[in-house]
Amino acid sequence: MNTFLILLIAFLISAFISSFIAAFTRIPYKNKFSSQLSILENAVKNGNANFGQRLTLFGVNMIGSFVAPPVYIKALIIAVILFLILK
């Protein structure tokens, strides 16, 4: 496998996991005030978000992961692990 493909797979894995956690769990919003959150994030935090709202938040986070530095850091760590496993 070439290096670019490993980096792409690692980025997609990292973005998917981060987006899934943000859309379907309360973990990222636990220590934040309601005024700091969007309407969708607030609905997830309160536990009254329906599936459509969660799916929308998932999509927004997937698109937003292209500019989020933590996603790139996680992707780099995953890529190094994948590279060492596949070597």
pLDDT the model gives residue 20 = 97
Pairwise CA distance, residues 43 & 69, whole Å: 25
State pLDDT tens for residues 32-47: 999 999 999 999 999 9
Domain boundaries, the chain: 19-86
All residue ranges of the chain with pLDDT < 50 are none
